[in-house]
Chains A and B, each alone.
Chain A
């Protein structure tokens, strides 16, 4: 995974970068399988490695295959990224260790889900029960976000083609 990230940074051929980001997503998916997050791995493999790679290729076909050389100095963005990254890493220092049974997340609502979700929802997959029932509002919000994203892309891209097709028909 680290190797693919460095290659993505170094390469200037955007086609190769898109392919590498797909590989990165696939590796991330295997990582999620290793830590037993099968549902997340599934999503990462389908969305990250599958659809988004195709969409990136679609975007590439509209633009160009080669990265433009940056005209300005890259030191200021590098400094911003480094400081943000350092702050995030500093933030994780306070987090409990991975798999720590005393971590707050395991003592809040998780026991209730584990003990009662089958009885209350009769759905064996706890992830589905939490997503669709206990956290129904959040999932509704997510679906609305996807809907809004789709509407946004359609507004930006489709009108132009529609007009162009009408012009083509007029010409023909």
Chain B
């Protein structure tokens, strides 16, 4: 698809906004609809769009597979680690109340961190699965022609 000029230009215009919207959904999930799961998928969609339009190799150059695989595990670790941090501070596992000076702030901080972990894992897994599918056999961009 790499020689379709309109698609390339539109994709280039759209991708920053998709990433920005993903971040908005991620960090505004406390106030509006959304959260880690949705944000992760939106964030991954931006990379998938990039890979579809500009080719898999270019997308792989931006985020090497190594970092994607690290991301999948790191998100789960952040989530579980938040629970352990709460335990070390003397509360139950995943009870965020002790993470800050008073319980509501601690809860807010805990949810924020945990949602970040969710988003990281979801985005990494989605990109990893897409790369795994697209990397096999003939390349996606050649197929679309």
Contact = CB atoms under 8 A, between A and B. Distances in A.
B56 to A, nearest CB: 11
Given A128-B111, A133-B96, A58 B31 contact: no
Contacts of B55: none
A82 interface: no
A147 B104 CA distance: 30
B133 A50 contact: no
A150 B135 contact: no
Contacts of B35: 39, 125, 127-128, 131-132
Contacts of B45: 46, 50-51, 54
Contacts of B20: none
Contacts of A158: 65, 132, 135
A42 B38 contact: yes
Contacts of A61: 133-134, 137-138, 140, 143
Interface string B48-92: 100010000000000001000100110110011001000000000
A132 B116 CA distance: 11
Most buried by B among A47, A124, A127: A47
A92 interface: no
B12 interface: no
B42 interface: yes
B33 A127 contact: yes
A46 B129 contact: no
Size bin of chain B's contact surface: 35 or more
A62 B83 contact: no
Interface string A120-139: 11111101110111001101
Given A61-B143, A120-B103, A143-B76, A132 B33 contact: no
B76 A54 contact: no
Interface string B24-52: 01000111111111100110110010001
A42 B40 CA distance: 12
B78 to A, nearest CB: 10
B107 A120 contact: yes
Interface in A42-85: 42-43, 46-47, 50-51, 54-55, 58-59, 61-62
Interface of B: 25, 29-38, 41-42, 44-45, 48, 52, 65, 69, 72-73, 75-76, 79-80, 83, 94, 96, 103-105, 107-108, 110-111, 114-115, 117-118, 121-122, 124-126, 128-130, 132-138, 140, 143
Interface of A: 38-39, 41-43, 46-47, 50-51, 54-55, 58-59, 61-62, 119-125, 127-129, 131-133, 136-137, 139-140, 142-144, 146-147, 149-151, 153-154, 157-158, 160-161
Given A43-B38, A43-B41, A153-B132, 16 more contacts: A38-B33, A42-B33, A46-B41, A61-B137, A61-B138, A121-B108, A124-B31, A125-B31, A127-B33, A136-B94, A136-B114, A137-B94, A150-B121, A150-B128, A151-B72, A161-B132
